[in-house]
Amino acid sequence: MHKVIMPKLGMTMESGLIVNWLKEEGDYVKKGEPLLDVMTDKVTIEVESFNTGYLKKILAREGEEIPVTEVIAYIGGKDEEVSEEIIKGRIKEKKEEKVEVKAKKILASPLAKKLAKEMSIDLSKISGTGPGGRIIKADVLKVAKEAKLKKKEKIEIEKEIEEKVVAPEILEKIPLAGLRKTIAERMSKSKSEIPHITLFIDVDMSSSEIFKEKINQEIGEKKISYTDLIIKATALSLKKYQILNSTLENKRIIIFKDINIGLAVSIKDGLIVPVIRNANKLSIEEIANKRVKLVKCARDNKLELRDVTGSTFTITNLGMYEIDYFSPIINPPEAGILAVGSIVKKPAIDREDEITVKPMLKLGLALDHRILDGAVGAKFLQYLRNILQEPNKLV
Amino acid sequence: MRKITYAEAIREALRQEMRRDENIFLIGEDLGIYGGAFGVTRGLINEFGEERVRDTPISELAIVGASLGAAITGMRPVAEIMFMDFITLAMEQIVNQAAKMKYMFGGKAKVPMVIRTPAGSGTGAAAQHSQSLEAWFTHVPGLKVVMPSTPYDAKGLLISSIRDDNPVIFIEHKLLYKTTGEVPEEEYEIPLGVADIKRKGEDLTIIATSIMVQRAISASKELEKEGISVEIVDPRTLKPYDKKTIIESIKRTGKVIIVHEACKTGGFGAEIAAIISESESFDYLDAPIRRLGGLDIPIPYNRNLEKNAVPQIEDIIKAAKELIGK
């Protein structure tokens, strides 16, 4: 009886995948005749028989990954019998192997473990030279040294590549720190974790314009801005559609009772979001007072922690920069954010199908699609638009 | 400096202390005219007389009992048990009486008593005259256990033991009596509970007691030739016990062998190993703690078997190489 083993077909080959047996059990096979296909390192090679005889028993089937030199079949004379032991032995061996793999524990001395932890070295990637293959101090230090060398090499290679590809000349390197870092982290978190859905709507601001002028005349100064109207209208809309005034936390949607509007304010080093608490309960004038104060504090870098915490929904406004509209990123952990563009005079079609010029505003609403769906957002935007088109509702 | 033997160092400590304090007296079997079974007290009877170098009948119980009575009434006895094996006969007085008295009388009774006794094999004296029973006494609160390995330590530790107000089991080794070493002529004390680093090294710590310190030193000289640097720590007193020196040594070397002559099972090495495992030195171990001790058999009379029953220099060298991986 001759053994057919998994051949070593390359210098680095440790095991091979049996792709296909070209002979069946019982087939006659001649020396040099193709016996099976083995895949190694993504290359499939035809393995020839070393013996002439009958393929008596195939031990390893298609799809099995077998270490080199392990017996995969037997070739023997026509009447030779393959003993039960051979077959059983193979099955037993396989079982034992599995158990061993499962129970494999990393053997390392306490000192080796301590050093590995301190140096952030993965012990499972080290082979130990101590008794029984135990990882000892010397093994960890060796790996640490090699890693250091590799890192050095890598840096040198990177440097070389950099030189070769003629990288653009650097003017300045600014470390990501402080507020910039916070913004970077929060925005990455938002964009990577929250599935955004963004809706846009056009708002005719004619009535709001008149309404605003009227109040300013009443109080005798140009205090009230469109922003204040939008804040108040948004707060009222949130009161109506409370699901937008929420957060997703530990697989629960938490809806807030308080409607605290965060207002994104651009400052020298970045962006900050002071909060107008319970905006739905405040009058337009109260909102204006708060906004003016908070924006001033923000620009003077005088905001306190309580001024910037607890917002439940954010409004971001780039209207003053003549931006028509934009798609905002949610300020986590909130459920939505409203983007306010510029109010531009545009031709609009009124109820009588007449083309008239109207001050138009485009609002963008980004929502956390995990919490709610587009239809709710759409209703919210409609409601918000209606308030701004009939601002008497604000009083 | 002058070199004298371990036995002479002990005799000198006894003589100088007896000259200093007339309350100190010696009591035991054949101490006087015969000078003790190993000649340690030879000549002392001539200087101090039969009153202070007292020969007793063959009763270890009486020796220790009489010493205890004398100690609590103001004397400072130094008793001798001829072979440590015989201390079994005095256990009641040592364990139940001497060790307990200070505690049971609320600190009002003092027991300034030393029991000197030679332990160990190597003299062909067979199973009843060759044991190392120190671990028993470390298990009894109220006793101090001292095991000197050199003439210098023997003198200084004996003087401290005599001046201590607690019962001290002072364990000498038969094979060490004739070893020599530098010993100052004047009196000096070595505090009880302070270990000594007998040799500085980097690769491996050997913690050894009594005769095993000498064997570890011999082994370390051989190992040095093969590039293995051994640190040898001698606890000197097993109780009180100097954890710090041992822990610090292991933190430097990461490997440890504990060697004693007493049977490995239940030997003091187990206690040392446990102390190491429990301490911060655990995280510095780069190999399992290795213990070398006597076989769990009565010491054989046959010389070859006797030698094989307890750790020898070769055994220490072998264990060290295994631990280092050479």
CATH of the domain at A112: 4.10.320.10
- Out of A76, A103, A130, a domain closes at A103
Q: Are B286 and A131 inside 8 Å of each other by CB?
A: no
Decide the pairing of beta strands A71-76 and A53-58: antiparallel
Which is nearest to B243 in space by CA: B272, B202, B200, B206?
B272
Could you tell me how far CA B302 lies from the centroid of its own chain? 25
pLDDT score recorded for residue A42: 59
d(CA B291, CA B144): 23
- Out of A79, A103, A127, a domain closes at A103
Domains and CATH numbers, chain B: 3-182 (3.40.50.970), 196-324 (3.40.50.920)
A115 neighbourhood in chain B, CB within 8 Å: none
Helical residues (DSSP H) of A104-177, grouped into ranges:
110-119, 137-164
One domain, residues A231 and A300: yes
d(CA A321, CA A291): 19
One domain, residues A224 and A291: yes
The yes/no answer to whether this complex scores an ipTM above 0.85 is no
Which is nearest to A82 in space by CA: A60, A62, A57, A104?
A57
What residues make up the domain containing A137? 105-167
One domain, residues A78 and A146: no
Interval B230-258: pLDDT, tens: 999 999 999 999 999 999 999 999 999 99
Report whether A21 contacts A57 (CB < 8 A).
no
Q: What letter would DSSP give residue B266? A: T
A183–chain B nearest CA distance, Å: 42
- Given B283, B322, B325, which is nearest A110 (Cβ)? B283
pLDDT score recorded for residue B226: 94
Evaluate whether residue A174 is within a structural domain: no
One domain, residues A308 and A347: yes
Evaluate whether residue A353 is within a structural domain: yes
pLDDT score recorded for residue A270: 84
Residue B203 has pLDDT above 80, yes or no: yes
Q: Are B282 and A110 inside 8 Å of each other by CB?
A: yes
One domain, residues A190 and A244: yes
3-state secondary structure of B251: helix
d(CA B111, CA B143): 10
Residue of chain B whose alpha carbon sits nearest to that of A130: B325
Of B213 and A26, the structure prediction assigns the larger pLDDT to: B213
**Residue A34, token pair as written in the block:** 């193709």
In this structure, of A5-9, B51-55, B289-293, the range with the lowest mean pLDDT score is A5-9
Sheet strand arrangement including A65-67: A43-48, A34-40, A15-21, A65-67
One domain, residues A160 and A189: no
Helix (H) or strand (E) holding B217, with range, is helix B211-225
- Out of A81, A103, A125, a domain closes at A103
In this structure, of A11-20, A331-340, B20-29, B182-191, the range with the lowest mean pLDDT score is A11-20
Q: What is the CATH number of the domain that holds A77?
A: 2.40.50.100
One domain, residues A222 and A153: no
Could you tell me how far CA A377 lies from the centroid of its own chain? 24
In this prediction, the residues of chain A whose per-residue pLDDT falls under 70 are 11, 41-42, 85-104, 166-167
Sheet strand arrangement including B24-28: B53-55, B24-28, B76-80, B114-119, B168-173, B144-146, B237-239
**Residue A52, token pair as written in the block:** 């002439």
Check: pTM over 0.80? Answer yes or no: no
* Percent of chain B residues topping a pLDDT of 90: 99
Decide the pairing of beta strands B230-234 and B196-199: antiparallel
Phi, psi (degrees; rounded to nearest 5) at A91: -65, -45
User: Looking at the 3D structure of chain A, how many domains does it have?
Assistant: 3
Evaluate whether residue A129 is within a structural domain: yes
pLDDT score recorded for residue A95: 52
One domain, residues A40 and A140: no
d(CA A98, CA A75): 27
- As a whole number of angstroms, the longest Cα–Cα distance in chain B is 59
Evaluate whether residue A356 is within a structural domain: yes
Evaluate whether residue A173 is within a structural domain: no
Is B139 an active-site residue? no
Evaluate whether residue A172 is within a structural domain: no
3-state secondary structure of A375: helix
- Given B283, B287, B325, which is nearest A114 (Cβ)? B283
Report whether A244 contacts A372 (CB < 8 A).
yes
A138–chain B nearest CA distance, Å: 9
- CA angle A210/A211/A215 to nearest 5° reads 115
One domain, residues A72 and A138: no
pLDDT score recorded for residue A267: 86
Residues B179-191: what's their mean pLDDT?
Answer: 97
Evaluate whether residue A67 is within a structural domain: yes
Which residue numbers of A are catalytic? 369, 373
Where do we find the tokens 């130990």?
A: A128
Evaluate whether residue A248 is within a structural domain: yes
d(CA A23, CA B121): 75
One domain, residues A252 and A281: yes
pLDDT score recorded for residue A100: 47
One domain, residues A205 and A112: no
**B138 Cβ contact partners less than 8 Å away, ≥ 6 residues apart:** B145, B238, B239, B268, B271
At residue A334, what is the residue type? E
- Given B283, B284, B325, which is nearest A129 (Cβ)? B325
One domain, residues A146 and A295: no
- Substitution target from B251, B283, B286 for chain A, most A beta carbons within 10 A: B286
CA atoms within 13 A on the CB side of A370: 18
pLDDT score recorded for residue A87: 66
d(CA A38, CA A16): 6
